[in-house]
Chain A
């Protein structure tokens, strides 16, 4: 375990050295995500320009949700997104070879190799937004809730990871999956709004097969007291089950690896 943490640190350090060479890239990515967050707020603003409350959510509650979602997606993008996208190419072009022969968990190696530092910076902006909105709502958050929120955020990041990782691993079967980015974007839509806008069937699906409501709705729910405690346990259970599933499907996929030569 200690070795894995040390390796993670080492790979993150390597990425930092790498990142320093491409400063413009860093700044532009920062700007992009910042703009995206801004556009989401315009959208929320436009919608709440038409009404004061949507399915019982006020505007600032919605902003807490958007902020939480931003923190989660940015952390996910910081740690896993690039790796998942690269993974599809590696599978297709046969570049997994060296990862497979290392005496270390292969899934670990391919999942954490690249870190995107601009996204880490961006996730803090999301945190600022949450604090600002909570202030507007005059909600105070105790240490217990704050800790639970953090734990659920980690859980959500892992759920995002398991979903995108599974989609990447599909490349073993279908040969290409460059729609990944688009899919991530489209699944992401579901986590941006309160689950209550959906009818029960869709809501049930979004809490099981495509757990996009566990992501963002759960952690934000803790902060604005919109989550019953039973769901918390369920959320963690789902996160762990999904993680186990990726371990299984990764092994299955590797059996189909063809290691195409360049």
Chain B
């Protein structure tokens, strides 16, 4: 039996329509018009115990809203959610003791206190025993290398250090299900990598079911086998990550900076699709299998200052998915 079952889930917001200008504001005082926003629109999926699933989608696609409904923070407008057999929006204590939520954009630690005080408060809130607390703390602070930072005011920590403590605070009670909403947002590359590795390792060791949303394709690629892609509130893809990449990101981008200007579009079209071309810089979209050949050609044919090969941004991959349809 799946640990998370979501069936036809929808969340509709009603927001006031504002007419522009001062006149509009005055009018709004007396006569209000509303627009409906379908943040999540009939989404269904199941997740088995121990899975690590990634939620993909552009900004405002409905990923976070879905996670919040799974956490019981938001009431669904319609549809059903079952997590470990509980309905999250009832917010039963039994349920809340068994899951955790980490949000990259919001923090639960007390700003003006050392992190350890917040952690201890969480211990008491979750009713974690002294031995278990000590054990988890030793292990986590060791793994995340933050033992020395326990006594420092949260407001003085870096974003990455804070996120590590957020993770610890959420894992004290050993949740069976863990929701991670953009846990690496705004972090530098090293911190991102640390957090990513920690999550991967944690999932492997404890078999905790994890749902992860992220902007960064790197996060998803490193962590998730399975992804659910959501756009404009609708689920558009649910399957193996490999399938997404193979199906929708068959190209890479090559950006080249030339030492001398004057490279013409015609000289490049044979290598790949020219996305951008200025006097000294060009960006080419090249099929995966041709990347090597194309870059070799560029390096021999032109006087190159710098060359860079990168993945097509995730937004573009998703955009492509809609264009070409999903099987």
Q: Which residues of A contact B (CB under 8 A)?
A: 3, 6-7, 10-11, 14, 17-18, 21, 94-98, 100-104, 106, 109, 254-255, 257-259, 261-262
Q: Other than A14-B113, A97-B68, give 7 A-B pairs with Cβ distance below 8 A.
A: A100-B71, A101-B71, A101-B73, A103-B125, A106-B91, A257-B73, A261-B105
**Total residue contacts A-B, CB cutoff 8 A:** 72
B107 closest partner in A (C-beta): A98
Say if the beta carbon of B124 comes within 8 Å of chain A. Answer: yes
Contacts of B73 in A (CB 8 A): 96-97, 100-101, 257, 259
Mark B residues whose CB is within 8 Å of A. 13, 64, 68, 71-75, 91, 93-97, 99-101, 103, 105-106, 108, 110, 112-113, 117, 120-121, 124-127
Q: Tell me which residues across on chain A come within 8 A of B93, comparing CB atoms.
A: 103-104
> Given A104-B93, A262-B106, A7–B124 Cβ distance below 8 Å?
yes
Residues in B whose Cβ lies below 8 Å from that of A254: 75
Cα distance, A97 to B102, chains bound together (Å)? 10
Distance in Å from the Cβ of A115 to the closest Cβ of chain B?
A: 13
B91 touches A100 (CB 8 A): yes
Instruction: With both chains docked as a complex, state the minimum distance between the C-beta of A12 and any C-beta of chain B, in angstroms.
Output: 11
CB distance from A3 to the nearest CB of B (A): 7
Nearest 5 Cβ contacts at the A-B interface? A103-B96, A98-B108, A103-B93, A103-B97, A18-B112
A232 to chain B minimum Cβ distance, whole angstroms, is 36
Q: In the complex, A181→B106 CA distance in Å?
A: 26
Known: A17-B113, A258-B13. A97 touches B124 (CB 8 A): no
Q: Collect the chain A residues with CB atoms within 8 Å of residue B68's CB.
A: 97, 259
- Which B residues are in CB contact (< 8 Å) with A21? 112
- With a cutoff of 8 Å between Cβ atoms, the chain A residues found around residue B105 in the complex are 261-262
CB pair B74–A259 under 8 Å, yes or no, is yes
Q: Please state if B72 and A10 are interface contacts (CB–CB under 8 Å).
A: no
CB nearest to A262 among chain B residues: B105
Determine which of B95, B103, B117 lies in contact with A14 in the assembled complex, contact meaning CB atoms within 8 Å. B117
Closest B residue by C-beta to A175: B16
| Cα–Cα, bound, A11→B124 (Å) | 11
Chain A residues with CB below 8 A from B121, complex form: 7, 10-11, 14
Alpha-carbon separation in the docked complex, A96 to B108 (Å):
10
B126 touches A103 (CB 8 A): yes
21 contacts between A and B (CB under 8 A): A7-B125, A10-B124, A11-B121, A14-B110, A14-B113, A17-B113, A18-B113, A97-B73, A98-B101, A101-B71, A101-B73, A103-B95, A103-B96, A103-B97, A103-B126, A103-B127, A104-B93, A104-B125, A258-B74, A259-B73, A261-B105
Q: Inside 8 A of B106's CB, which chain A residues have their CB?
A: 94-95, 97-98, 262
CB-CB under 8 A from A101, the residues of chain B are 71-73, 96, 99-101
Which residues of the other chain, A, contact B97 by a CB distance below 8 angstroms? Answer: 103
| Complex contact B100–A18 (CB within 8 A) | no
Nearest A-chain residue to B97, judged by Cβ: A103
Q: In the complex, which residues of chain A have a beta carbon less than 8 angstroms from the beta carbon of B72?
A: 100-101
A257 and B74 in contact, given A14-B113, A14-B117 (Cβ under 8 angstroms)? yes
Closest to B114 in A: A17
- Report how far A71 CA is from B125 CA in the complex, Å: 31
CB closest residue in chain A, given B103: A97
B39 (CB) vs chain A CBs: closest residue: A258
Give the Cβ gap from B168 to chain A, nearest Cβ, in Å. 14
Question: Hey, which chain B residues are within 8 Å of A3, CB to CB?
Answer: 124, 127
Which residues on the B side are within 8 Å of A96 (C-beta)? 73
Minimum distance in angstroms from A18 CB to a CB of chain B: 5
